[in-house]
Amino acid sequence: MVAPLIIIGITLVAMLLCIIFDIKIKLGKVSIRVYWIVCLIGSIVCIACKFISSQSLKNVFASSENINPLKILAIFLSCTSLSVLLDKIGFFKYIAELALKKAKSNQTKLFFVFSFIVIILTIFTSNDILILTFTPFICFFTKRAKIDPTPYIVTEFVMANAWSMFFYIDNPTNIYLCSYFGINFLDYTLKMFIPTLIAGIVSLLIVYFLFRKKLKQKIELEDEEIVKPNSALLGIALAGLGVMVIMMVICPYIGLDIWYIPLACAVVTYFTMFIFLLATKQKLSILWQSFKNLPYELIPFLLSMAIIVSALQDVGFIELFANSLSGQHFIVIGIIAFLLGNLINNIPMSMLFTSVLAGMPFVYNNIYAVIIASNLCAFLTPIGALAGIMFMKILKENDVKYGLAKFMLYGLIVSIPALLLSLCGLLIF
């Protein structure tokens, strides 16, 4: 077991360093982040050294079960594509500017209106896309209004990650864990409603308490005309998203494999928009830009990590880890998953814990505890989620002073009570 653990350990450490320092390579005008390349190389070494059996390798790509990473990628990329499309149409910016106009000069009102909008959009779209879309807008309007951006960037990041527990399509870690253990859309939502509500409300109140004095400053912002998105394009995109959510609720009762739903909805939505743009003689660039901005790097990253986790399974590490956690209370498991997520990132942590939990006596609360940890571990350090690294990069590019020390300080204050109370919320049902 020593050689595989050394190889995999080196891979994970190298991956973390690449994420922390945002290491990239340039091929012409294209800039490629290196973290997933490191994981790909590590997985190839595992295959070459035969740390993973041929049957386990086959299961990574060709398993007929829900845990097939290719099916999980189909769900995640299809859901994300609809969120990206809404962004390119201008929906997110339009909603944010409406919030700014509604609040007028009252920062406290803006804080809560803005938080509510982030919550709603996170639930029905994607936390990562929302963070990447709203963060530049926050930097822009706070600079224009000459106010401190910190309360808004903190609440945006916290709300987007706390409320991404609501539906399991909101975060790839939710998708992976639910698919692995066969948890359907409705059962997940009913179980996670209370813990998500607790985490969201507790986090919001803590953030407000931290910044309540700063929010007393009035906003000095001139009124600007709000540009409305194309109503027809917006209608098509929202209809696709709505149908997808409804169908994912009912698909277990009609015997339909869930990964077909988001894929079909995304394809139909994009095709309908393509036909509409052609018929109205409008440019197709919005579709191209949406495809271009999908997180394709997640494909080799997730598949590589699936191979690495399977290798850990084959060499016996997963069994040892499962035995060490066997009999532990789900709150303890949630805390361990939370800490591990901040050491190796939430996606590898979730993939590791799926195999670990499969080797333990089956307890649903253990699964949900890991799901909670996979979302909330993003609070503590930027390593916890890939969106955290991109979030910090956007702030730096916009000259917003929000370093690692501040991130971890606020993250520590918010994450500990949110984690513990939301884990306790699992006891309600």
User: What are the tens digits of pLDDT across the range 344-389?
Assistant: 888 888 888 988 998 888 889 999 999 999 999 999 988 888 778 7
| 286, amino acid identity | I
Tell me the two tokens of residue 53.
Answer: 């059996």
In this predicted structure, what is the pLDDT of residue 84? 87
Burial degree of 281 (CB within 10 A; 0-12, 13-18, 19+)? exposed
Distance (Å, whole) CA 114 – CA 121:
11
Q: What is the pLDDT of residues 2-27, one digit of tens each?
A: 889 999 999 989 988 887 787 888 88
pLDDT in tens, 305-344: 889 988 998 999 999 999 999 889 999 999 999 999 888 8
Tokens of 241: 């998203």
Per-residue model confidence (pLDDT) at position 40:
95
Q: What pTM, to 2 d.p., does this model score?
A: 0.83
Rounded-to-integer distance, Cα 311 and Cα 53, Å: 8
Instruction: Please give the average per-residue pLDDT across 393-400, as a whole number.
Output: 82
| Bridge partners of residue 356, in order along the sequence | none
Beta bridge partners of 31: 26
Does residue 199 surpass a pLDDT of 90? Answer: yes
Q: Hey, how many other C-beta atoms are within 10 angstroms of the C-beta on 203?
A: 27
CA pair distance 111, 118, nearest whole angstrom: 11
For residue 49, how far is the Cα from the chain centroid? 33
- Asked if 86 and 237 touch (Cβ cutoff 8 Å), the reply is yes
- Output 97 or 411, whichever has higher pLDDT: 411
So what's the pLDDT on residue 65?
Answer: 59
Q: Are the C-beta atoms of 267 and 137 separated by less than 8 Å?
A: no
Length of the chain: 429
**Residue 341 in 3-state DSSP?**
helix
Compute the distance between CA of residue 114 and CA of residue 131 in angstroms, rounded to an integer. 13
For residue 223, the model assigns a pLDDT of 65
pLDDT for 268-293, tens place per residue?
A: 999 999 999 999 988 899 999 998 88
Mean pLDDT of 98-127: 84
Contacts of 13 (CB under 8 A, 6+ apart): none
Mean pLDDT of the chain: 88
